[in-house]
Chain A
Amino acid sequence: MSNVPATLRYTSDHEWLRPGTTCAVGITAFAVEQLGDITLVDLPKVGDVVEKGARFGTIESVKSVSDLYAPVSGTIAAVNDALAGAPEEVNADCYQAWMVEITPSNPAELDELLTAEAYAATLG
């Protein structure tokens, strides 16, 4: 059973979001298990505007490339540049290895995200 921290919110595409003034975003343990060893993370720049459900970056494992989708609309407030040189940190602890922080432009979208319980249920 994958680790699904109760304090986070989730998308059905296996991103997590930590609610706040700025919201850290990463990928879930389930996603990491599916991807295997992560070799490259391509992220946007601070100040870029992202739209809920739209691609904001890509993550590559040894075998595959996957898109990252913004859980909420807003502006990129911070980017975890450490992942450029050390993408394996996502494998080591995916809930510490955040990818970006987003300042939500429509905080009501946060309520549309899955709770830990609802997300865990989608994993079967």
Chain B
Amino acid sequence: MRAVALRTPLYDAHRALGARMIDFGGWDMPVSYPAGTIKEHKAVREAAGLFDVSHMGEAFLRGPRATEAVQRLTTNDVGGAPAGKAVYTLLCRPDGGIVDDCIFYKRSDEEYFVIVNASNRAKDLAWIRDQVGDLCAIDDVSDATGLIAVQGPTAVALVDQLAGGALADVITFGFRDATVAGVATVAARTGYTGEDGFELACANADAPALWQALVEAGAQPAGLGARDSLRLESRLPLYGNDLDDTTSPLEAGLGWAVKLDRPWVAAGGDFLGRSALVAQKAAGLTRALTGFRIDDRAIARHGYDVVDRLRPAGEQVIGKVTSGGPGISITGAIGLAYLPPTYGAAGTPLTIDCRGKDVAATVVKGKFYKRA
């Protein structure tokens, strides 16, 4: 028996463009197009790139008590956001571990839309259903929904032009229903590249026409390779690498998306993971996701050990690299690792065991790449 690879509605478009396809969590996805990852990455930094992210999961939460349901699920104040606003949040387990990171879109107090990671679709939907119970209805529209991200300094103008000027004034993390190139979309000013742009949700059947219109308008198709290098330079965490069920938002540096004192809580409301996160905050962290830049000519990859050779033999491993790769818009290789907080100050020298060779690195605070 062999699992059949899942395909997005843009599969044929990728093949027609000559994309190199790889398996990504059971999906047959483009890792790069003939331009190659570096050119695709630079197109996003300098102009506009186009990503098929239709493999991600989407669902509606609807009902008179939808806000209460969302308040219980999320670490960020999704329920307190105004209608028309998207909010990045974590879904946490009671012990504070991260079920997923995702974006909720508040359409009204009785209607929310959520986009979750492709690799977590089934897990998240089951989790949300379990936790929400009969508070509201959950409508999983993943298999009917196409999702296209247009990212880069010219992306907003490019999409706005195809929308007849209906989208230029959408604020960052705002969203709006809009017709783009004749296709009904939900256009959100969000992304995963560190650049400005839109993520456009549409019906599966409309996705190829929308994609084609965006390509003809000049956006460079970009694959998962560029998506990963762009998000790492902008220090956006990747679930499965930097986040998982055993890491907490506080350890991951996502405390800004954990609103422990929001009005919902002040009024006696609770959310999943709250008490564990309060306790972790009070006790102090034992590890934190730490950024580093490689000093030597080398690249640290996911899973490599970070070591301190001054410690006794057998106790030298102080953490593991969760993401790593070459910088493309910046010089040198970069990465992230969970390390004890004593190694967290900017400029702290680190040693990384790159396949048996000790390589020098330096702790970097904040984003590796900051857009102009």
**CB < 8 Å: which of B36, B299, B355 contacts A36?**
B36
Query: In the complex, A7 Cα to B355 Cα: how many Å?
Result: 35
Which partner residue on chain A sits nearest B226 by CB separation?
A62
Query: Which residues of chain B from 274 to 316 have any CB-CB distance to chain A below 8 Å in the complex?
Result: 297-299, 301
Tell yes or no: B191 within 8 A of A by CB. no
Q: Which residues of A contact B20 (CB under 8 A)?
A: 33, 36
6 further contact pairs, Cβ within 8 A, besides A60-B326, A88-B38: A39-B38, A40-B299, A42-B297, A65-B299, A84-B297, A91-B36
* Contact between chains at B37 and A63 (CB < 8 Å): yes
Q: Which residues of A contact B299 (CB under 8 A)?
A: 39-40, 60, 65
* Contact between chains at B355 and A37 (CB < 8 Å): no
Write the nearest CB–CB distance from A40 to chain B, whole angstroms: 6
Write the nearest CB–CB distance from B297 to chain A, whole angstroms: 6
- Taking residues whose C-beta sits less than 8 angstroms from the other chain, chain A's interface range is 10 to 19
* Contact between chains at A36 and B298 (CB < 8 Å): no
Beta-carbon contacts of B19-62 to A below 8 Å, as 1s and 0s? 01000000000011000111000000000000000000000000
Q: Which residues of B contact A105 (CB under 8 A)?
A: none
Query: In the complex, A54 Cα to B299 Cα: how many Å?
Result: 21
Q: Which residues of B contact A84 (CB under 8 A)?
A: 297
Q: Which residues of A contact B37 (CB under 8 A)?
A: 36-37, 61-63
* Contact between chains at A63 and B38 (CB < 8 Å): no
* Contact between chains at B297 and A36 (CB < 8 Å): no
**CB < 8 Å: which of B36, B297, B301 contacts A65?**
B301
Query: Which residues of chain B from 305 to 342 have any CB-CB distance to chain A below 8 Å in the complex?
Result: 325-326, 328, 333
Chain B residue total in the interface (Cβ 8 A): 18
Tell yes or no: A58 within 8 A of B by CB. yes
Query: In the complex, A61 Cα to B333 Cα: how many Å?
Result: 12
Query: In the complex, A75 Cα to B229 Cα: how many Å?
Result: 37
Query: In the complex, A119 Cα to B328 Cα: how many Å?
Result: 34
Tell yes or no: B225 within 8 A of A by CB. yes
Write the nearest CB–CB distance from B192 to chain A, whole angstroms: 17
**CB < 8 Å: which of A33, A42, A58, A62 contacts B326?**
A62
Task: List the interface of chain B (C-beta within 8 A of A).
Answer: 20, 31-32, 36-38, 225, 228-229, 297-299, 301, 325-326, 328, 333, 355
* Contact between chains at B355 and A62 (CB < 8 Å): no
* Contact between chains at B38 and A37 (CB < 8 Å): yes
Task: List the interface of chain A (C-beta within 8 A of B).
Answer: 33, 36-37, 39-40, 42, 58, 60-65, 84, 88, 91
Write the nearest CB–CB distance from B271 to chain A, whole angstroms: 37
* Contact between chains at B31 and A36 (CB < 8 Å): yes
Write the nearest CB–CB distance from A48 to chain B, whole angstroms: 15
* Contact between chains at A62 and B325 (CB < 8 Å): yes
Which partner residue on chain A sits nearest B328 by CB separation?
A62
Write the nearest CB–CB distance from A92 to chain B, whole angstroms: 11
Q: Which residues of B contact A63 (CB under 8 A)?
A: 31, 37, 225, 228, 325
* Contact between chains at A39 and B32 (CB < 8 Å): no
- Among A33, A40, A62, A65, max chain B CB count under 10 A is at A62
* Contact between chains at A62 and B297 (CB < 8 Å): no
Write the nearest CB–CB distance from A65 to chain B, whole angstroms: 6
Write the nearest CB–CB distance from A13 to chain B, whole angstroms: 17
Query: In the complex, A58 Cα to B300 Cα: how many Å?
Result: 13
Q: Which residues of B contact A58 (CB under 8 A)?
A: 355
Which partner residue on chain A sits nearest B357 by CB separation?
A42
A-B complex: 8 closest residue pairs judged by Cβ atoms: A39-B326, A62-B37, A37-B38, A37-B37, A37-B36, A60-B299, A62-B225, A63-B225
Query: In the complex, A40 Cα to B326 Cα: how many Å?
Result: 9
A selection of 30 A-B contacts at a CB cut-off of 8 Å is A33-B20, A36-B20, A36-B31, A36-B32, A36-B36, A36-B37, A36-B225, A37-B32, A37-B36, A37-B38, A37-B225, A39-B38, A39-B299, A39-B326, A40-B326, A42-B298, A58-B355, A60-B299, A60-B326, A61-B37, A62-B37, A62-B38, A62-B229, A63-B228, A63-B325, A65-B299, A65-B355, A84-B297, A88-B38, A91-B36
Q: Which residues of B contact A36 (CB under 8 A)?
A: 20, 31-32, 36-37, 225
Write the nearest CB–CB distance from A86 to chain B, whole angstroms: 13
Write the nearest CB–CB distance from B225 to chain A, whole angstroms: 5
Write the nearest CB–CB distance from A36 to chain B, whole angstroms: 5
Question: Knowing A58-B355, A62-B326, A63-B31 touch, does A40 contact B36 (C-beta < 8 A)?
Answer: no
Q: Which residues of B contact A91 (CB under 8 A)?
A: 36
